[in-house]
């Protein structure tokens, strides 16, 4: 049940009406939990088992950690929780990858093995709710939050349908305190929910999916196109992945507001970044902060010298890449970003104490140069995860750097730069001015009317069905 479909709109309307008609806390949360499970099962009924197993593991582990009287016992239950979650994730997401590479290695060494592979259906959102469960047991272990006594409450925290499939990754310390009592929904929240919901639909339906029609054939056969067309395809890919994923996050934030819950924003105009470090503070914020707090810091962070800090950054980002996908493209992309973060950290460290360095780095010319370099580096990495073949990847990289040929098909419809331009304008106007939308300054009633009309237009005149969100595969 894709967010950007009429079936979901009907489902959401029914759930909202029933949820708000119920009065008792336990009835509201039980109904919302069952609705969330139904939403998840609508993709594949077997997915429910994959969701329930880690939910039971983490719920039990949280209680046992809190009840344990010794540190070794607490560590034991925490370890079992982490191993259970990562084990389940590993089976479904990485078994095929490991088997394929193991067989390839045996063949390279001269061994004879049959040509077969393991293919398991990847349950939607498994990477997201796995990390959510791990953060809960770690936070209980660290004493940041109490264990949840009611199973329904904890299961709802894991399965809350707006963010279940593709995030943002919501931490227990952010969400569970809101569940003490069903939060009331204010008029402001209803209108803000409409704002984020319409914005997310606009990004997904009218920008991301349209750009996919242009760039997908080019990435499949880049050798057929000239360098200029390849560069437009790269820009279209950068705009598409941002609008597709931030669009989903906006939809999740908007839906949650209609139930009275506040979810963290997941993107903060990332293409305005002037360094790779800043980019990862603006892009997929819930994941980057999760990796920082639960992996990077656990490895030692920056507390054990320069070399150890660099190693921790490389390890964290390589694992971040592997989290995104079970392929060497993602492993390389994660390692590449780790190298960039290490280089930028060393660069910052080298400039500490240098006279006038702060003044120079604040100058407009320097900032524009830093932005151009950062975007080029980010786009270089995005090509790696999207290219179909390594040869195609190399052709796209050469085109990005201006080294491609002028031979080949040139077909860039006018609407492609126009849609990319919308993303650019959104970043420049809203990002630089720190104004999300001019409509936010309007009185509530006119704003609500505009949002409702915009939503109606998208529903009535939209395609009716959309491409799956990119992050569903993660």
pLDDT recorded at residue 444: 66
Given a cut of 70, whether residue 306 has pLDDT beyond it is: yes
∠ CA 433-439-443, nearest 5°, is 125
> What average pLDDT does the structure give for the chain?
85
Question: Alpha carbon 364 to chain centroid distance?
Answer: 31
pLDDT band at 471 (very low <50, low <70, confident <90, very high): low
Contacts of 180 (CB under 8 A, 6+ apart): none
Token pair in block for residue 194: 């409409």
Predicted confidence at residue 460, as pLDDT, reads 65
Of the residues 195, 324, 344, 349, which is catalytic?
Answer: 324
In DSSP terms, which residues pair with 303 in a beta bridge?
none
Q: Mean pLDDT throughout 412-424? A: 89
**409 in helix, strand or coil?**
strand
Whether residue 465 is predicted with pLDDT greater than 60 in this model: the reply is no
Residue scoring higher pLDDT (104 or 270)? 270
- Say if residue 369's pLDDT is above 80: yes
How much is the pLDDT for 435? 56
- List the structure tokens of 307: 């070399």
Contact 130, 88 (CB under 8 A): yes
Measured CA to CA, the distance from residue 251 to residue 245 in angstroms comes to 10
Q: How far is the C-alpha of 402 from the C-alpha of 385, rounded, in Å? A: 20
DSSP summary character for residue 183: P
Mean pLDDT of 403-420: 84
Banded pLDDT at 163 (limits 50, 70, 90): confident
Give the residue with greater pLDDT, 437 vs 26: 26
Cα distance between residue 112 and residue 307, in whole Å: 42
User: pLDDT by residue (tens digit) across 65-113?
Assistant: 999 888 989 999 999 999 988 888 888 777 776 777 676 777 777 777 6
Q: What integer pLDDT is reported at residue 231 of this predicted model?
A: 92
Confidence band, pLDDT 50/70/90 cuts, at residue 275: very high
423 or 444, higher pLDDT: 423
- For the chain, give every domain's residue range: 6-182, 188-473
Please name every residue paired with 225 in a beta bridge, in sequence order, or none if there are none: 409
Does the annotation count 324 as an active-site position? Answer: yes
Residue 441 confidence (pLDDT) above 80: no
pLDDT at position 343: 93
Residue 186 confidence (pLDDT): 85
């Amino acid at each position: 049940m894709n967010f950007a479909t009429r079936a979901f709109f009907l489902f959401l309307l029914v759930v909202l009406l029933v949820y708000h008609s119920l009065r008792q806390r336990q009835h509201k949360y039980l109904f919302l939990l069952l609705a969330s499970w139904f939403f998840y099962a609508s993709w594949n009924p077997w997915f429910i088992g994959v969701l329930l197993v880690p939910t039971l593991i983490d719920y039990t582990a949280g209680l046992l950690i809190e009840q344990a009287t010794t540190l070794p016992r607490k560590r034991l239950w925490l370890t079992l929780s982490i191993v259970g979650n990562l084990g389940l994730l590993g089976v479904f997401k990485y078994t095929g990858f490991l088997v394929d590479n193991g067989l390839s290695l045996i063949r390279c060494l001269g061994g004879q093995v049959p040509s077969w592979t393991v293919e398991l259906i990847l349950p939607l959102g498994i990477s997201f709710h796995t990390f959510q469960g791990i953060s809960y047991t770690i936070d209980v272990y660290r004493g940041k939050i109490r264990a949840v006594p009611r199973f329904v409450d904890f299961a709802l925290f894991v399965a809350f349908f707006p963010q279940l499939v593709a995030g943002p990754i919501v931490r227990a310390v952010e969400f569970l305190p809101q569940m003490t009592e069903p939060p009331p929904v204010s008029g402001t929240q209803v209108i803000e929910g409409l704002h984020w919901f319409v914005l997310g639909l606009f990004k997904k339906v009218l920008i991301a999916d349209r750009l996919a029609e242009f760039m997908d054939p080019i990435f499949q056969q880049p050798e057929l196109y000239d360098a200029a067309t390849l560069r437009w395809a790269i820009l279209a890919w950068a705009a598409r992945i941002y609008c597709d994923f931030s669009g989903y996050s906006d939809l999740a934030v908007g839906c949650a507001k209609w139930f009275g819950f506040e979810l963290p924003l997941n993107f903060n105009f990332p293409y305005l970044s002037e360094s790779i470090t800043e980019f990862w503070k603006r892009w997929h914020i819930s994941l980057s902060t999760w990796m920082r707090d639960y992996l990077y810091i656990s490895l030692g962070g920056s507390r054990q010298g320069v070399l150890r800090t660099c190693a921790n950054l490389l390890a964290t980002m390589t694992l971040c890449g592997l989290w995104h996908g079970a392929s060497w493209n993602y492993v390389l992309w994660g390692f590449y970003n780790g190298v960039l973060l290490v280089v930028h950290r060393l660069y910052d460290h080298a400039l500490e104490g240098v006279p006038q360095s702060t003044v120079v780095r604040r100058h407009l010319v320097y900032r524009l140069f830093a932005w151009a370099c950062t975007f080029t580096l980010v786009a270089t990495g995005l090509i790696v995860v999207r290219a179909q073949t390594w040869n195609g990847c190399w052709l796209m990289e050469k085109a990005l750097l201006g080294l491609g040929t002028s031979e080949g098909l040139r077909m860039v419809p006018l609407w492609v730069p126009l849609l990319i331009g919308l993303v650019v304008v959104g970043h420049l106007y809203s990002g630089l001015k720190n104004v999300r939308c001019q409509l936010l300054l309007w009185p509530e009633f006119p704003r609500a009317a505009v949002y409702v009309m915009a939503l109606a237009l998208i529903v009535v005149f939209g395609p009716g069905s959309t491409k799956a969100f990119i992050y569903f595969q993660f």
